[in-house]
Homo-oligomer: A and B are copies of this chain.
Amino acid sequence: MITLVIYDITDDTVRNRVAKACKQFGLSRIQKSAFLGDLPSAKRKELISRLRRILGNSKGNIQIFVLCRADFALREVIGDVEFEEDEEIILV
Contact = CB atoms under 8 A, between A and B. Distances in A.
Interface residues of A, number: 37
A30 B65 CA distance: 13
A88 interface: no
A2 B90 CA distance: 24
27 contacts: A6-B6, A6-B31, A7-B31, A8-B81, A8-B82, A10-B82, A31-B63, A34-B63, A48-B76, A52-B78, A59-B79, A59-B80, A59-B82, A60-B82, A61-B77, A61-B79, A61-B81, A62-B78, A63-B76, A64-B75, A64-B76, A65-B67, A65-B72, A66-B74, A66-B75, A68-B68, A71-B71
Given A52-B78, A64-B77, 11 more contacts: A6-B34, A55-B79, A61-B79, A62-B79, A63-B78, A64-B76, A65-B65, A65-B71, A66-B75, A68-B70, A71-B71
